[in-house]
Every structure is written in C-alpha cells, then in structure tokens.
Chain A
Amino acid sequence: GAVVSQHPSRVICKSGTSVKIECRSLDFQATTMFWYRQFPKKSLMLMATSNEGSKATYEQGVEKDKFLINHASLTLSTLTVTSAHPEDSSFYICSAERQGWGEFTEAFFGQGTRLTVV
C-alpha cells in the first residue's frame, strides 16, 4: 500500500504558541488530503479537506483561522494550530487520497500527531 508520513508524532507546546504538523504522501501524488481530529476513545472527526493549489474546505464548526491548512504541493499538506490552547490538545491524523480503480478512491493515513498544549 501507499505510504503517508505525518510529522511530528508527538509535540508539546506552550499555550499561545503555534504548531505545524506535516503530512506527506511518499510514493504517490495526492491532490486531496484530509485532516481529522480524534478525542480519546472516540471516532475521527473530519476537520477539513485540503486541496492542492486551492483553499481548504472546512467542516462546520472548525475555525479556519485557528487551524491553518496549506497544500502547496501534490505531496505535502500542513496543518498549523495557531495560538494553541489546552483544549486544542488532541490526536490529529491526516489522510491522503489516491485514485483507485474504477469509481472509488483509496485513503491512506498518517500515523497521527499527539498534540499536548500546556
């Protein structure tokens, strides 16, 4: 299967600072990437859809000025949590979409980033 690399895997930051998380598709080009947030023992909540060369599409309730997404190339999308607060502490996961055979697409996930804001 395809490989998606997410970095860093863990980060601790102070309140008020910004944190950047990278998501790279290593062996395929991904025009679309997705960013999810996962609370402990909960499911993945889609935050936004990142499209190469255009603005990200945010889900309802997700602050776009808080969670900045940049998809500057076909292999890299970044999520920046700006002015982080303790309530932003969570597990963030990205996925990259690859066109599969026929009518479906395949999603490959990064290993996730555990963000802790202190």
Chain B
Amino acid sequence: SQQGEEDPQALSIQEGENATMNCSYKTSINNLQWYRQNSGRGLVHLILIRSNEREKHSGRLRVTLDTSKKSSSLLITASRAADTASYFCATDPTDSWGKLQFGAGTQVVVTP
C-alpha cells in the first residue's frame, strides 16, 4: 500500500510563481525523498531529507519535514515551464530498509 499522500493532486500555475505541494505519511521513517517524473519517463531524484532534518534547500527547491505531524512540503520557487511534471514523495520506512513507499503524486503544470 502507498504510504505517502500528496496534496494537491494537481496544480496549475504561471511561470515565475511558486509551487507548493505537501506530503503526509503514516509510519516512522528514516528519510523522505522527492522525485520528479516527466510524462512517460522514469523518476528523477530531487532531494532527500533525513528524519532528523527539518529543512533542506537545493537550488530552487525547498523541502521541509515535520516528523511530529508526519508531513513534508516541497516548494519550487520561481517556477519555469520546464518544471511541468509530476512530483512524488517517497518515504523510507524504518521497518523496511530501502523499500520506498510512494505517494500518488502532484501533477504540476506551469504555463508560460
């Protein structure tokens, strides 16, 4: 069963705007990862945040993790048309090493 649940399911914004998506999960985790998937392609790893970290940055990406609420957020700043993709969070549960549990994803469309 999928553990992570993303919110919203779909997001449509204009270039230059920020895009924020959230992920909630249910069990204890070692880390949480965000991936991007272009239509019909494989997944590209964006960023990993460990369970003892609260915030992490990578370029235009900002990820937060709140283990007390079992939730994470991904912020893409100054979005570009090329950011159009589906974004998935994946948790690495403490009781099953390396067996990532994926959420349903957020489909982001950035219009020029």
- Is this pair of chains taken from one and the same complex? yes
Instruction: Tell whether A34 is near chain B: CB-to-CB under 8 Å.
Output: yes
Q: Are B98 and A32 in contact (CB under 8 A)?
A: yes
Given known contacts A44-B88, A105-B92, A111 and B41 CB-to-CB distance under 8 angstroms: yes
Chain B CB within 10 Å, residue with most, of A34, A43, A109: A43
Contact partners of B50 in chain A: CB under 8 A: 103-104
Q: Are B104 and A107 in contact (CB under 8 A)?
A: no
Name the interface residues of A91-106: CB closer than 8 Å to any CB of B. Answer: 91, 93, 95, 97, 103-106
Cα distance, A109 to B44, chains bound together (Å): 7
Interface string of A1-31 (1 = CB under 8 A from B): 1000010000000000000000000000000
Instruction: Tell whether A85 is near chain B: CB-to-CB under 8 Å.
Output: no
Interface residue tally on B, bucketed by range = 20 to 34
B interface majority secondary structure: strand
**Residue in B closest to A93 when the chains form the complex, CB atoms:** B42
Name the interface residues of B89-111: CB closer than 8 Å to any CB of A. Answer: 90, 92, 97-105, 107
Q: Are A112 and B41 in contact (CB under 8 A)?
A: yes
Given known contacts A91-B40, A105-B97, A114-B40, A43 and B45 CB-to-CB distance under 8 angstroms: no
Q: Are B42 and A1 in contact (CB under 8 A)?
A: no
Instruction: Tell whether A68 is near chain B: CB-to-CB under 8 Å.
Output: no
- Chain B contact residues, CB within 8 Å of chain A: 2, 30-31, 33, 35, 40-45, 48, 50, 88, 90, 92, 97-105, 107
- Chain A contact residues, CB within 8 Å of chain B: 1, 6, 32, 34, 36, 41-46, 49, 91, 93, 95, 97, 103-112, 114
Listed by A's residue number, 16 A-B pairs whose Cβ atoms lie within 8 Å are A1-B45, A34-B98, A36-B102, A42-B105, A44-B102, A46-B99, A49-B99, A95-B100, A104-B30, A104-B31, A105-B98, A106-B45, A109-B44, A109-B45, A111-B42, A112-B42
